[in-house]
Amino acid sequence: MNDTVGIVIVSHSKDIAKGTADMVRQMVGNEVKVAFCGGNPDGGLGTSVPSIIAAINDAWSAKGVAILVDLGGAETNSEMAVEMLEPVRRDLVVVCNAPIVEGAVMAATEAAGGSSLAQVRAVAEELSAD
């Protein structure tokens, strides 16, 4: 399991994050580590840097972690969370520019085949290409 890129799903809504993670697991079962978080530090809609850091650590893999986000604050807070990781992990985490549900499912499917972090990211980001 440690040979596959981990997937982190960050939504403003915990329900969306969990639902997305459910759809990912339906595709890849336990072949890929998947972690999710949603909601601000008080549990309302929003995102939380400490929760994102915890999710990255939960989904940690030596091959790295790909993060899928929904709207602006999820992206900004995810980028901040990555910068706050210990330096050795920082370069092994990417925030993908991709739709959260489709991106997470495609990224995880790619990861399950043993692809590199760059390949996983590219597959997710193709969804946002013109």
Partner 1 sequence: MSLQPETFKSLVKVAAEQVISSAPELTSLDQAIGDGDHGINMKRGFEAVLGKLDTISAQPLDEALMMIGKTLVMTVGGASGPLYGGFFLAAGEALSHDKHLPDDLADVFGSGVNAVSARGRSQAGEKTMLDVLVPVLETLKTAAGQPDLIERVRTTAAEAVERTAPMQATKGRASFLGPRSVGHVDPGARSSCVLVQAVCARLEEQK
Owner of token pair 């982190």:
8
* Closer of 23 and 45 to partner 1 (Cβ): 45
**Residue 30: active-site member:** no
* Closer of 37 and 120 to partner 1 (Cβ): 37
Owner of token pair 């043993």:
114
Report the interface residues with partner 1, using CB under 8 A: 40-42, 44-50, 71-73, 76-77, 79-80, 84
- Separation of alpha carbons 48 and 46, rounded Å: 7
First to last CA, the chain: 34
Catalytic residue among 12, 33, 63, 121: 12
* Closer of 19 and 46 to partner 1 (Cβ): 46
CB 47 within 8 A of CB 40: yes
Residues with catalytic function: 12
